Structure 1
Amino acid sequence: MSQSRVRGRGSVAQDTRERAPRAGGPRDGGSGGGGRRRTGKQGGKPGGGRRALRWSASVLALLILGTAGAGYLYYEHLNGNIRAGERSGSDDSRAQRTRPNADGQTPLNILLIGSDSRASAENVKLGGSKDTRGNPPLGDVQMLIHVSADRRSAAMVSIPRDTRVDIPECKDAKTGKVYPATNDIINTTLARGGAGCTLATWENLTGVYIDHWMTIDFSGVVRMADAIRGVDVCVKQNVWDRSTAAQHGGSGLKMTAGTHKVKGEQALQWLRTRHAWGSDVMRARAQHMYLNSMIRTLKGQNVFTDSGRLMDLAEAATKSLTVSNEIGSVKKLYDLGMELKAVPTDRITSVTMPNIEDPRNISHVLPAQGADKLWQMLREDVALDKNGKPAQKKVADAEPAKAPSAAPDRLGVQVQNGTRTDTLAPVSGRARAVASALGAKGYGQAQADSSAAPSAEETVVRYPSADLEGDAQAVAKALGIPAKQVERSTDVSGVTVVVGADWRTGDTYPKKAAPKAGDLPTGTDAINGSDDKSCMDVYAPYRW
């Protein structure tokens, strides 16, 4: 369950010797949300620009394992390169897997995290001041890769690093330290128990079940940038990202207008650049453009005939990654990469979470109202592009409803007013109104909860234990709330209706039209993976 859906309290394999797989055969513009020119300090630590390449390198590593993964000569050696950790750092996830389609397939969700860890001399050299070597790492670049259940489309969704969110209670699997739930910017999650906490926070925010995570640090970024041997990028004007009278710092990126092939340090500079693009949101756009170009580059190359390069790519990929335990071997990563390999580039869509300025801190942002629609599209596996062929969608039979444990007039039901959001004031009396509506339907013991209510974009019915699942389903049915909005939660002691911002008037829950393919909310700055014409617009002070 997401912050945008519910902000409640607290909302906060051993490898075997597998046989190596055999070698196989061989737009500028968007929907807005990025025009704000914020070039000041964006939160987190100074030197944040150097973190950007980690994001694309993680994706590159994943793609290489699918595109160039067959025929590894040093399979056990490569297995030894990979580091792994616990999938989740929290036991309080409300995200549920999407129901399988008629063919038994479910979507695949992978969280990619760029770490600014300076735990080694190499990372200190690449990442900035040695004074920060012992500081906890920040996850400054975070992106969710969503592959559809039928494996015919994919989405790449970024969240700005300075987005303020509810972070659930997290536990460090290595030390056992427990970090209490808090409200902070999302890049701090990596320091609160590792990547598992970042994953739990994403699930809390979006309601999307995430299967795996992958992280990469500074040295991994450089290693992967060299392995790819160049990616085409484009700028509309001459660009030089440097210190100015108004703004200190910069990546050092300097190039003339037009298309250039970047690799190594220059690729790092491209992905670090923020000031010359005008904002963190525009930096995300530059990263998406780089990534799309990288995918096209890999798809157009045949590395199977070059054993030396194949080994270089495999070595770089496995040395660069830390992954969740479920994918902690070459074979598993190879299988994962192969799932991504078949997605056509024109079915890949890169977007940024719609966001608004945080009224508490102008250097931070909050999810905009359209973010919840984006999360809904991911939860319901709706393609972000319109390039798929129209087809009747077969869905597996829904699970039958559970039998209620008590008659309606004997069931206690709490109703909470969650209509407050970051941009909307609460609707007075909504909990009482919905409790009254339940009473009229036979739930005589329904009552408004006068305690501090959570904030919710979407109305939900929550229950604490399996024996009350049928009762919660019956309450939802009585109010017209969809069954998918009934969830189990340890934050409640009985069946609880959280009235969200999507139900501000009336006694019956309003029916909502299902999102359609390609019907993205405003503010996502979407880019299609096949778009090879996009160029970055350079913020005027950084032109030369």
Structure 2
Amino acid sequence: MAQSSSVYGEGTKPGAVPGDPVPGNPGNPGSPAGPGDGHRRGGRRPGRGPGPGRGRRVLRWSAASLSVLILATAGAGYLYYEHLNGNIEKGRRSSGDSKATKASPNAAGQTPLNILLIGSDSRASDENVKLGGARKDRGNPPLADVQMLIHLAADRKSAAVVSIPRDTRVDIPKCTDPKTGRTYPPVNTIINASLARGGAGCTLATWENLTGVYVDHWMTIDFAGVVKMADAIGGVEVCVRQNVWDRPLPGVPGGSGLKLKAGHRKVQGEQALQWLRTRHAWGSDPLRARAQHMYMNSMIRTLKAQNVFTDTGRLTDLAEAATKSLHVSEELGTVKKLYDLGMQLKTVPTDRITMTTLPTAEDPQDRNHLVPAGADADRVWDMIRDDVPFDGKGAKKTSEASKTSEAPRTSKDPAAADDAIGVLVQNATRSTTLGPVTGRAGAITRALVEKGFTKAAADTSGALSEERTVVRYPSAELAGDAQRVAKSLGIPASSVRRSTDVSGVTVVVGADWRTGTAYPKQPAPKAGDLPGDADALNGSDTGKCMDVYAPYRW
């Protein structure tokens, strides 16, 4: 039995012998039919193939159509990309006096990434007024009610988040508002006031001066932005142990309006904003930070579980919400850069994310305010500065080789003779909780002179404030000199930093060196060695619930 061809359009009728003339083929000289014969009513003649000429025309038409489709799709994609870029509001990274410098790369050439997330209570729009307060507040300067530093480890295997309660008293440096040009003098007040003294760039500079940590980027979000993002995500699960209603009570005005029954509940839209703003019902500002951490961890788990990159509608909603909701520092000001940042954060497993709150104590000047809790607060900042994992799950560095490989590089430029190095010594021992120690600049200057640095001199312009002792130098040719001075005093090489704020080698005696002329050795922080009052919460922990302060139960 003869086999019939399973391929159509080859120019062979069923039963025909390959190579025979094909009736109706205008390209075949033996064909009785002329051009156009295949267009008679009733359609194509059975068995008729396209022939070489028609095949080429079909291919040309298909290629042209495909090209138009690709160009149209690409054009629409480009226009949408530009639309998203146009949604993004940008601002200057830093608008205040700050001397923090980027961390040195590790042995693999990797550096940590630090992002400051700021929640603004701005009432600059009718939408924000409706969500967050009375119309009389509309023109008031915004306050940074939520402040979190997100630290992504150099190896991108873990992440740490540190919140500072909004009523924590700190030093806010001199800042200049990039929009108005107005300059604000340095002040010692609660940290949420920083946003109104030069924008998010001033809040960033405040964090850098407080922590000694270089902050790469900032991102701010207002009331309306929180609502948009919560809706785009589709809701976030939270938990309360008792029924909660955060409402005004006799003698206690305000309240977020949050009303939930006990148990695990999904919040979105305005209810998500109420959860993040609730304070009275939890009992304190640090406990509000804990509730915010629970929300963030749950949101991260939700996003990881959603297959947004294969769901075009969800991806579009998230892109629109994010670009309309976030105001970012200028170096993050494109969709691509935000996407790249998101992909870096996505690589961290949820069980390697640790949320914490800075350890604080009651402010001796005002019992309604807080101050950083001395050594416990310092340990948190030490772990961030040294890129030590908060969770203790990172690889243990045991060999001397690994320690040496991660040590800061020493300058190849040789130091000048000790008696030829000019050194200025500044007293910066004043801290948020402690006053300055008088005479520190003079004491360290005398110690340097005794060591042979005869050109050392004390700065008598007044006490400054630095949490940690540093040695600064202005240009590469003085790097060796600065390292030589630091070594003579026992100051670690990691505390020697280049800065354009000094004109020569400058020793800044910080609040961590209040006595003696030899810098006190600082114990190296260990992975997981967080103070107990940091209120650590692991990103994979789904069993946490908020306790409700009794007056706000129903």
TM-score of the alignment, normalized to the shorter chain, above 0.5: yes
C-alpha separation between the residues in 2 aligned to 1:305 and 1:73? 21
Deviation at 1:372, TM superposition (A): 2.0
Q: Does 1:101 align with 2:106?
A: yes
Deviation at 1:245, TM superposition (A): 2.1
Q: Percent identity?
A: 71
Which residue does 2:409 correspond to in 1?
399
Which residue does 2:543 correspond to in 1?
533
C-alpha separation between the residues in 2 aligned to 1:341 and 1:361? 41
Report the CA distance shift for 1:356/1:302 in structure 2 as closer, same or farther (over 3 A): same
Of the three residues 215, 218, 221, the one matched with 1:213 is: 218
Q: Which shifted more, 439-448 or 159-168?
A: 439-448
Of the three residues 79, 83, 93, the one matched with 2:89 is: 83
Deviation at 1:423, TM superposition (A): 4.0
Q: What letter matches 2:525 in structure 1?
A: P
Report the CA distance shift for 1:324/1:426 in structure 2 as closer, same or farther (over 3 A): closer
Deviation at 1:101, TM superposition (A): 1.7
Q: Which shifted more, 306-315 or 285-294?
A: 306-315
Q: TM-score, normalising length from structure 1?
A: 0.81
Of the three residues 259, 282, 287, the one matched with 2:287 is: 282
Deviation at 1:491, TM superposition (A): 5.7
1:87–1:325 CA contact under 8 A, matched in 2: yes
What do residues 463-492 of structure 1 show as CA deviations (whole Å, max 9, x unaligned)? 455554432221111111111212345665
Report the CA distance shift for 1:390/1:471 in structure 2 as closer, same or farther (over 3 A): closer
Report the CA distance shift for 1:507/1:536 in structure 2 as closer, same or farther (over 3 A): same
What do residues 135-188 of structure 1 show as CA deviations (whole Å, max 9, x unaligned)? 222222111111111110001111111222222222233333333333332222
C-alpha separation between the residues in 1 aligned to 2:229 and 2:78? 18
Of the three residues 333, 338, 359, the one matched with 1:333 is: 338
1:73–1:311 CA contact under 8 A, matched in 2: no
C-alpha separation between the residues in 1 aligned to 2:275 and 2:432? 34
Of the three residues 453, 472, 476, the one matched with 2:482 is: 472
C-alpha separation between the residues in 2 aligned to 1:293 and 1:198? 26
SS of the residue 1:227 aligns to: helix
Alignment of 1:309-388 (within 5 A): 309-369=314-374, 370-388=376-394
1:154–1:348 CA contact under 8 A, matched in 2: yes
Q: What letter matches 1:371 in structure 2?
A: A
Matched residues, number: 475
2:212–2:467 CA contact under 8 A, matched in 1: no
SS of the residue 1:213 aligns to: strand
Which structure exhibits the higher relative contact order, with contacts defined as CA atoms closer than 8 Å and separated by 6 or more residues? 1
Alignment of 1:487-498 (within 5 A): 487-489=497-499, 494-498=504-508
Report the CA distance shift for 1:532/1:403 in structure 2 as closer, same or farther (over 3 A): same
Q: Which shifted more, 410-419 or 510-519?
A: 410-419
C-alpha separation between the residues in 1 aligned to 2:318 and 2:453? 63
Which residue does 2:235 correspond to in 1?
230
Q: Does 1:141 align with 2:149?
A: no
Q: What letter matches 2:396 in structure 1?
A: P
Q: TM-score, normalising length from structure 2?
A: 0.79
SS of the residue 1:443 aligns to: coil
Which residue does 1:499 correspond to in 2?
509
Report the CA distance shift for 1:429/1:93 in structure 2 as closer, same or farther (over 3 A): closer
Report the CA distance shift for 1:419/1:214 in structure 2 as closer, same or farther (over 3 A): closer
Q: What letter matches 2:518 in structure 1?
A: T
Report the CA distance shift for 1:417/1:536 in structure 2 as closer, same or farther (over 3 A): same
Q: Which shifted more, 340-349 or 435-444?
A: 435-444
Which residue does 1:308 correspond to in 2?
313
Report the CA distance shift for 1:513/1:324 in structure 2 as closer, same or farther (over 3 A): same
Report the CA distance shift for 1:305/1:501 in structure 2 as closer, same or farther (over 3 A): closer
SS of the residue 2:533 aligns to: coil
Which residue does 2:37 correspond to in 1?
none
Report the CA distance shift for 1:129/1:305 in structure 2 as closer, same or farther (over 3 A): same
Q: Does 1:162 align with 2:172?
A: no
Deviation at 1:494, TM superposition (A): 4.5
C-alpha separation between the residues in 2 aligned to 1:121 and 1:425? 44
Higher Cα Rg, which structure: 2
Q: Does 1:248 align with 2:253?
A: yes
Deviation at 1:98, TM superposition (A): 1.0
C-alpha separation between the residues in 1 aligned to 2:159 and 2:99? 23
C-alpha separation between the residues in 2 aligned to 1:403 and 1:76? 47
C-alpha separation between the residues in 2 aligned to 1:530 and 1:477? 44
Report the CA distance shift for 1:404/1:183 in structure 2 as closer, same or farther (over 3 A): farther
1:346–1:387 CA contact under 8 A, matched in 2: no
Q: What letter matches 2:358 in structure 1?
A: M
**Dislocated runs of 4+, deviation >6 Å:** none
Deviation at 1:522, TM superposition (A): 3.8
* RMSD (Å) for aligned C-alpha atoms: 2.6
1:404–1:474 CA contact under 8 A, matched in 2: no
Of the three residues 427, 440, 453, the one matched with 2:463 is: 453
Q: What letter matches 1:303 in structure 2?
A: V
Of the three residues 518, 530, 533, the one matched with 1:508 is: 518
Deviation at 1:434, TM superposition (A): 3.1
SS of the residue 1:283 aligns to: helix
Which residue does 2:451 correspond to in 1?
441
Unaligned runs of 5+ in 2: 1-69
Q: What letter matches 1:539 in structure 2?
A: Y
C-alpha separation between the residues in 2 aligned to 1:331 and 1:486? 35
Deviation at 1:433, TM superposition (A): 4.0
Which residue does 1:38 correspond to in 2?
none
SS of the residue 2:534 aligns to: coil
Q: What letter matches 1:212 in structure 2?
A: H
C-alpha separation between the residues in 2 aligned to 1:529 and 1:238? 25
Deviation at 1:429, TM superposition (A): 5.2
Q: What letter matches 2:538 in structure 1?
A: N
Which residue does 1:7 correspond to in 2?
none
Of the three residues 390, 408, 416, the one matched with 2:418 is: 408
C-alpha separation between the residues in 2 aligned to 1:438 and 1:210? 33
1:418–1:500 CA contact under 8 A, matched in 2: yes
C-alpha separation between the residues in 2 aligned to 1:373 and 1:442? 34
Q: What letter matches 2:379 in structure 1?
A: K
What do residues 48-80 of structure 1 show as CA deviations (whole Å, max 9, x unaligned)? xxxxxxxxxxxxxxxxxxxxxxx9993232222
Deviation at 1:406, TM superposition (A): 4.6
Q: What letter matches 1:475 in structure 2?
A: V
Deviation at 1:120, TM superposition (A): 1.6
1:72–1:314 CA contact under 8 A, matched in 2: no
C-alpha separation between the residues in 1 aligned to 2:422 and 2:535? 46
Q: What letter matches 1:508 in structure 2?
A: A
